[in-house]
Amino acid sequence: MRSLKLYARFIPIYFKSKTEHGFGFYMDFVGFALTHIVSYTVIWALMSRFQTINGWSMYEVMLLYTLNMLTYAIAAVFFFFQMNDVEEDVHKGSFDSLLVKPINPFIHMIIRSFGHFFLGDIAIAIIMLGFCFSRLDIHPDLGTYVSFVFMLLGAVLVQASFIVITGSMCFWIVRARSVVNIVIFGIRGFADYPISIYGKFLRVILTFIIPYGFVNFYPSHLILDKEGGSLFASWLPYATPIIGLLLFFIAYRVWNAGLNRYQGTGS
């Protein structure tokens, strides 16, 4: 609770320091937004030509992309730049500063920074989520909204887990950027489209090994009330919260394993 209070006080100070940069601060949001505008345009162009992809319409595919973007952006606000800072600290030998404070190093890592870049992504994703719901004529009741929130939280934990796991590789290989690029910016991109369009090998990977399918594909079966297409087992669309909690537990264990391996600058 004390850490949350410190973080709540830190965020306004952080924004005050960033807004002193003026135009550059706001361009951070614009740059990220343009990337997603291009991606939505690509989806529109592709789906305008083919109408459906393996039974998924344009707005259903846009929903998949939006859920992937939203859950990643929420996770990245609290973990992406923070894990980047850890890598730099380990590389420079200044990581010891996290270990001498009277606070859990993992909590300290989170609350010492804030990924404001991703707030624009969150805003765009919320707007597009409403747009997709409108186009798909989705009118969820209270129970469905509650289920949807739990699905989102589980998906955010999945995204956060991979940020932490790949970032924690810096304790073993110092420069973990290649691992981050492969998992976060490479494999995660497969989830922008229905994973049912891929071969069985890739579907197994995206479901059981690097389970990005639980970020959007499986939850979408519940949101869209789709018949069939739930790969491997009918219960998978309900499993996102459990998968998220399990993965985040594993991520925290990986972080602690790396922390125990870290020997400091005097070694």
For the chain, which residues make up each domain, given as ranges? 21-261
Mean pLDDT, rounded, for 250-265: 88
Q: Between 39 and 144, where is the model more confident?
A: 39
**pLDDT mean across residues, the chain:** 87
Q: At what angle do helices 240-261 and 142-168 cross, to 10 degrees?
A: 20
DSSP string, 180-241: HIIIIIIGGGGGGS-GGGS-HHHHHIIIIIS-GGGTTHHHHHHHHT--S---S-TTGGG-HH
The per-residue pLDDT for 25 is: 65
**Spatial distance between the Cα atoms of 103 and 1, rounded to a whole number of angstroms:** 12
The per-residue pLDDT for 175 is: 72
Q: What is the pLDDT of residues 77-117, one digit of tens each?
A: 999 999 999 988 888 888 888 888 888 999 989 988 888 88
Mean pLDDT, rounded, for 201-216: 94
Q: Is the pTM of this model over 0.75?
A: yes
Residue 264 pLDDT class (50, 70, 90 cuts): low
**Spatial distance between the Cα atoms of 261 and 238, rounded to a whole number of angstroms:** 36
Residue 21 pLDDT class (50, 70, 90 cuts): low
Whether pLDDT at 229 is above 60: no
Residue 23 pLDDT class (50, 70, 90 cuts): low
Residue 183 pLDDT class (50, 70, 90 cuts): confident
Mean pLDDT, rounded, for 234-258: 95
Whether pLDDT at 240 is above 70: yes
The per-residue pLDDT for 114 is: 86
Which one, of 227, 52, 33, 187, lies nearest residue 119 by Cα?
Answer: 33
Whether pLDDT at 127 is above 90: yes
Residue with tokens 């009277």: 102
The per-residue pLDDT for 267 is: 47
